Structure formats: C-alpha cells, structure tokens
Structure 1
C-alpha cells in the first residue's frame, strides 16, 4: 500500500516541476527591454525669455507680432497728443531687450510726450556662439563601433561561427546564392531648409513692425537703432528701401562681427535723412564717428548729420535726458517744411 502511495506522489510532482520550469522561463526574458531615451527639449533663446518677462510685467504695452514662422513681442506706447506726428520703431542692440534702461527704454517712454508713437522690438539672439560653448561637433560623443565588428575580427582570426553544415556538406554561407537576395534600396533623407539666420529674422521683424505702423496710419515712420540695432536698421533700409521711411536715427552705432557690407558702405549708399548720435568722450567711438563723417563727405551724402553728446557715467539720468532732448529736436526739424 505504501508503494502505491509513493508512486502516486511522484506522478504528481513531475507535472508540477515541469510547470514551474516552464513558468519561470516565460516570466524571465533573456534580455531586459531597452530603457526609453530621454529627449531634452530645445532651450529657448535668452531674448525670447526676456521678451516673455516683459510681456508679463507690461501686459497693456506688449504687442504680439508675427515675423515669418515665429512670433515675437514688441512694446507699444501711443502718443500723448491728439495729433500724433508719427511712429518711431526702436531696434535694441545685441544683448538688449525692448525696455533696455539705456537709450531704448528712456526714449520709448519719453517720445510719446513729444507726440510720437513708439514701438520697441525684441531682437533675436546673435548668430555668434557664446564664449566657452562647445560646438555641436565638439560636444557629440564618439560613435560606438558597429555591432558586427567583433564578429568580423573573429572571422579574420580564423574563428568560424558554429553553424552546422547542411546535408550537402557546405556551410549556409557557401550554399546561399547572392543573386537571390536583393539589397534594400537606400532611403535618402528629405532635404531640409536651414533655419533663417539673424539677418533674415531681423528683416522679418522690421517688416512686421512696418505693417503694424501702417495699420496705425502713422503720418511719418522713423527707424531708430541703438548699437548693433542701428546697423541692422541701416542695412534694412539699404536693401529694402521702403518708400514711407525717410528718416534713420543711430545712437552709438556699432557693426556686428562678421557682417557685410560694412557700416560705412551702408551709410554711403543711403540717401535719406540720417542722424548719427555718439558720445564724444569715448575715444574709439569718437574715432569711428570721424571716419563715418569723412565717408559721408566723400560720397556727398545729401542729409547726413552727426550729433556729439557728452557722456555722464556718474549721472545716467541726466545723460539720457540730454539724449532725449537732442533726438526730439532732430525729429522736430525734420518735420519743418
């Protein structure tokens, strides 16, 4: 009787053991699934972040404009006059925003008192990489060798794969006909257009600002640039030559790096009223202003005028007030018949 019980018990244990082995094999995969690759979102431009902050602080003045495929923020203030004289479009320099505390901010807030609408643009970041920032090629890690490199090295050393021979006595690689396997056609990547550069983006933003000024039915439209913004304003006028802009104001004009044509060439080709404001107490600025004046004389510019200002580093408020008065006076003289 005990022998029958022992045989029955063993008969039950065998299926259980096979079931446990099969279950364990299915629950434990040979290889772990690949972990998902984390995609880092593209970082927003510094200028775009500053523009968003300005729109948050000044919601009543912020105007969203469209320039090509991108949107940007401009700050608009109407003239404090029942009969406005026109609209001044302000272009900040590299690294500045639409409410920069020097030149751009004071002028956009004070010119409405003189009867001018103001529209201050937020400019895109410069194309030049930041100091110490590695390029994409330098920052990319070295690519891993192909997966079959070790197999190729093993075959080169005489270590053939452990493939069983066929019935004819040949290895599968020797019996396969290369003509039977057609290679898959190479898929060529679709051509992609390069992103627009700084010059194209700035021109698109000035186009959008001009469209806004025309919607306001401004009697006179003036471009005013500070630093590199003055260069981009002159370049836009030289390339596009809009008929409804006849005045250009430049304050501490500076040409961006690696840009052609040169500032002197642009000013020589412009034939509209141009006001060049600079601080004469600064040596390099004074020398550059002298060169621009000589260029205008050689090319017989019809209406180019320079205005030298005294720099007051210890009293920025008085310095900006003096600049505002000289700009206001220059605009008033241009409106005289």
Structure 2
C-alpha cells in the first residue's frame, strides 16, 4: 500500500493550480473594458480658427504694434487698427468696416482710407468682422432637366412613376425649408456678433475722446453698417458713409429697404462702371426720394486704371463729405 502522503499529493497540487487559473480568467476582462472605454471616448478636436482670425494673426506681424488694438465683443476678441488724427483738435473718429473677404488693412478702400484720414484731422479705426456662417449654407440649386418620357400603358412603371416623383419632390421641399430656417437663424447670429463688434468699436472711440463718430462701410461692410444704424440707432454716430455697397447673399432685408430707415446723414459712394452696381444704387436713390425729409446723398465715381489714383479719388470724396468747408474739395 502506498503511503498516505503520496496519495494526497495530486489533490494538493490541484487545489493550488485551480485558484490561480480562476484569478487569471477573472483579471482578463479588465483590459478589454479599458480598451472599450477608450474607444467610446475619442479625443475631442479643437475647432479650426476662422479665416478672419488667421488673416488677423498674419497682419499682426506686419503692422506696427502701436496701431494694433485688441477689442472685446462678448466672447470674441478681435483685431482693430487705430490711427489718431494728426491734429491738436481732431474732428472725430471714423470707424471703418470691411466687406466679406477683406481685412482691417485691405488694399482697396480700407487700408488707404485708414492711413489717409488722420491727415484730414480724423482718427481712423478699422475693425475685423467675423466669418459669416450664413454664407456657408448654400441654397439648393435646381437645374432644368429634360422632361421624362411617359411610361407605356400597361407597363409596371406606369403605376410607380408618379409616387416616386412625389416622394422626391416632397423631400426636396423639406430640405429647402430646413436650409431656409437654418440660414435665417444663422444670419441673426451673424448680425449679433457683428453688432457687438461695432458696439466695441464705438466704445473705444469714445474712450479716445472722439467728438464726432462716423461709420464707414465698404462692400458688404456697408450693408452691416447700415443695418446696425437702422436697428440700433446709436446716438453717438452722426454720419454714415457707404462705399461700393453690397448686400450679403443670405442677408435680409435688402440694402434698398434699409437706407430709407436711416435717420442720419448718409453718403452712398458707388462706381458707375458696372451695370449691377449702378442699378442697385439707383434703387437706393429712388427709395430715399419717397421720403419727405431725406439726408441721403449719392456720389458716382468712375473706376480708374491707376489703382493709386483711384484710391486718392475715393479719399478726396470721403474727405470732402466729412469736411465740406474744405475749399480744396
């Protein structure tokens, strides 16, 4: 007969091995759970900066630091360029609003005016506008398609063609409605951001003891300037200058509807070489004539082949309207 301890040895080994196996199996799910948690929570990407922010950052490296101002408008911090008037007693400050795709130092109108106005005894403050999100929502464009051939009588298509076309048309109408509602909401949000920046610019001009404040808009910037003054009617602003005014694609109301509501002297400077600009200017002029008392004035300019001469022509017109007593104009 074998000794008792030799019979008990296999049982003892099993009792030691089995708990270790169970503990390994119990520990295996933990790494899987960790991997699953990692997969469920992907890394959040930071939103890309707006194009206007990137362009402003590039300009900061080129423009003298003493001209740069960082203004606050709600949650936005934006670049503005300030040049004080070259006079012991400045006449006031001109807030310059660029159009879509333009910067605070755009070579057409914005840059030349902001640099030359101080010599006309006016301080200049050009501001950066945010990117318009409403412009990114493009409406559906329906192209003309050839008329479908009618299905032959008795064919299977004759019973299914009409319902399919109705469904497709209904989905397109719903999509158009959603786009229109989204565009309207985004346009309101764009207006709020732009208005906040103009508010900040006016506050800065007041801090610089500007006696008179004039708002000048170029391109779509003229539209936002007119809309701001029409809706908010700030008492600090005395005049409006619109240069080559244009209504943004998704914006409402149209500029011709806004100009008659303005209650301050307005100069509408446009270039008569382009038929579309000329017709739009005529529409604004006719709308202003329907009012009994209108302070709306139009100035027609001709595009010049020499860029410098064209910008000088624009500056002289703006200066002449701001300083009507100047005999040189």
Task: Please state which band the TM-score falls in when normalised by the shorter chain.
Answer: 0.7 to 0.9
Counterpart Cα distance in 2 of 1:335 and 1:66: 36
- Please point out which of 185, 205, 212 is paired with 1:213: 205
Counterpart of 2:221 in structure 1 is: 229
- Please point out which of 233, 238, 246 is paired with 1:254: 246
Contact 1:255 1:263 in 2 (8 A): yes
More moved, 271-280 vs 48-57: 48-57
Contact 1:275 1:304 in 2 (8 A): yes
Structure 1: runs of 5+ lacking an equivalent: 135-193
Query: Is 1:55 equivalent to 2:60 in the alignment?
Result: yes
CA positional deviation for 1:115: 1.6
More moved, 5-14 vs 47-56: 5-14
Contact 1:90 1:119 in 2 (8 A): yes
Counterpart Cα distance in 2 of 1:209 and 1:270: 20
Counterpart of 2:10 in structure 1 is: 10
What pairs with 1:30-41 in structure 2 (closer than 5 Å)? 31-33=32-34, 34=36, 35=38, 36-41=41-46
Name the SS of the counterpart of 1:219 in structure 2: coil
Contact 1:252 1:277 in 2 (8 A): yes
What TM-score, normalized to structure 1?
0.73
Bigger proportion of residues as helix: 2
CA positional deviation for 1:218: 1.0
Structure 2: runs of 5+ lacking an equivalent: 141-184
Counterpart Cα distance in 2 of 1:307 and 1:25: 86
Contact 1:91 1:230 in 2 (8 A): yes
Counterpart of 1:122 in structure 2 is: 128
Contact 2:135 2:249 in 1 (8 A): no
- C-alpha change, 1:61 and 1:303, in structure 2 (3 Å) is same
More moved, 231-240 vs 23-32: 23-32
More moved, 299-308 vs 207-216: 299-308
Contact 2:256 2:287 in 1 (8 A): yes
More moved, 243-252 vs 314-323: 314-323
What pairs with 1:74-223 in structure 2 (closer than 5 Å)? 74-130=80-136, 197-223=189-215
Please give the root-mean-square deviation of Cα atoms over the aligned residues, in Å.
2.8
Counterpart of 1:319 in structure 2 is: 310
Counterpart of 1:273 in structure 2 is: 265
CA positional deviation for 1:89: 0.1
What TM-score, normalized to structure 2?
0.75
Give deviations 1:171-205, integer Å, cap 9, x for gaps. Answer: xxxxxxxxxxxxxxxxxxxxxxx997111111111
Query: Is 1:239 equivalent to 2:231 in the alignment?
Result: yes
Counterpart Cα distance in 2 of 1:297 and 1:131: 35
Counterpart of 2:144 in structure 1 is: none
Number of residue pairs the alignment of both structures matches: 276
> Which of these two proteins has the greater Rg computed from alpha carbons?
1
Name the SS of the counterpart of 1:60 in structure 2: helix
CA positional deviation for 1:335: 8.1
CA positional deviation for 1:3: 6.7
Counterpart of 1:146 in structure 2 is: none
